[in-house]
Structure 1
Amino acid sequence: MGGIRYSAEIADLLGRVRRRATAEWPWHPGEPVPGRLPVKQCWGWLFAPDGRVLTLVNPRDGVVGLPGGSLEPEDRGDPAAALAREAAEEAQAVIAGPRYLGYLYDRVGATNGGRPCARVRMAAALRSVGPTAPDPASGRHYRRLLVAPGLAVELLGWGEPGVRQAREAVRTAVAHLRVPARADEAIEELPAGGCAFRPCA
């Protein structure tokens, strides 16, 4: 194993990464969202066939995130539909086989008028990305990086709760999306012109 590999340009980008403060939302792996708790957002661990996941870097402020966001009326209350739409808008990504991982309990409910809500996490297969484009909702033009799940947790700044979430994502992806348990450790920026991924056999 040669360790983590990346280009000088990516090294410069990673040198400007800024991590958000941990939100301290309790993680409920595998548990269905209680009926009394509205689902307001969904983010996804999107797996390439080699086990790496897609992360998005905002070059304006260096903040790293997973694809995803708020449920909109057109999603009809379906977190998987919201994830597919947000992945397309933010990363020009096409996904397949979304699997529910669990939810985070947001007791403050900043996205729900100050009332508690759920923020769902899912895993899905990354099938392709189109030519890079700004997010129509925010105008942000994200840099798209494939990284190993453990490194994603570090870049996201999620600490031990993020490690637990990543483990659940990897376990689910290995079982249902046919990705390897150990991801390639190279950090790769996806081509600006887009690319497709060959599904694992």
Structure 2
Amino acid sequence: MGRIEYSAEIADLLGRVRRRPAAGWPWRPGESVPPGLPVKQSWGWLFAPDGRVLTLVNPKDGIVTLPGGSLEPEDAGDPGRALAREAGEEAQAVIGRPHYLGYLYDRIGSANGGHECARVRMTAALRAVGPTAPDPASGRHYRRLLVAPGLAVELLGWGEAGLRQARAAVASAVVRLGVPEAANETIEELPPGGGQVFPPGR
């Protein structure tokens, strides 16, 4: 494997990354959320045409995340709508139609007041990003990086379970979005002014 390319500025940012401990929620790929199990969160693997995915880095604490978050009343229980809204708020991102991948079973229910719940994972095309801005809900001002899915798992600190999830996301994106199975390995920060990422059509 060749050397991963990135700028000195990105090297400084990556040097401050702090990985969260893995939560250990069981991954249920391709399974529908069972009736009666509430869906509390929706997060997305958002793909560029070259197979890289959008990751968000909080420069204040070094935590890396995928775009996504909790379902709100305006989402009307739709995880795809929640993902589109959260991607817009956190990353100023416009996405294509989300495709369901599966869910994580949170038996402890830390996102549901101590009651079990589901945390959905989806994939979608990253169409465009607007000018960078703070998340209106949290005030966090994320740095927006395009990275290969395997590297995203490493930055997220998700281990083997995260790799299984990434493989499911890549398999879906190859079929549905036409991205290459082997992603571009360059780490790139999206420009602060925004711009188009994925051409129209998918």
1: CA distance, partners of 2:36 / 2:3: 46
Partner residue in 2 for 1:71? 71
DSSP 3-state at the match of 1:154: helix
Return the alpha-carbon distance in structure 2 between the equivalents of residues 113 and 191 of structure 1: 38
Query: TM-score, with normalisation over the residues of structure 1?
Result: 0.98
Q: CA–CA distance in 2 between the matches of 1:182 and 1:111?
A: 34
Q: CA deviation at 1:113?
A: 1.1
Q: CA deviation at 1:3?
A: 2.6
Q: Within 5 A, what are the aligned runs for 1:123-138? A: 123-138=123-138
CA contact (8 A) 2:125 2:198 kept: no
How far apart, CA to CA, are the structure 2 residues paired with 1:171 and 1:17?
A: 27
Amino-acid identity (%)? 77
Distance in 1 separating the partners of 2:44 and 2:126: 10
RMSD: 1.1
Q: In the aligned structure 2, how far is the partner of 1:149 from the partner of 1:200?
A: 22
Distance, in Å, in 2 between the alignment partners of 1:193 and 1:2 is: 30
Structure 2 Cα separation of the partners of residues 74 and 3 of structure 1: 44
Equivalences for residues 1-201 of structure 1 within 5 A: 2-199=2-199
Q: In the aligned structure 2, how far is the partner of 1:18 from the partner of 1:46?
A: 22
Across the two proteins, how many residue pairs are aligned to each other? 201
- Contact between 2:126 and 2:198, CA under 8 Å: does it hold in 1? no
- The list of structure 1 runs, each at least 4 consecutive aligned residues, that deviate by more than 3 angstroms after superposition, is none
Query: Matches of 1:110 and 1:74 in 2, distance apart?
Result: 22
Q: Give 3-state SS (helix, strand or coil) of 1:113's partner.
A: coil
Amino acid at match of 2:90: E
SS of corresponding position for 1:97: coil
Uncovered stretches (5+) of structure 1, i.e. residues with no partner? none
Structure 2 counterpart of 1:89, one-letter code: E
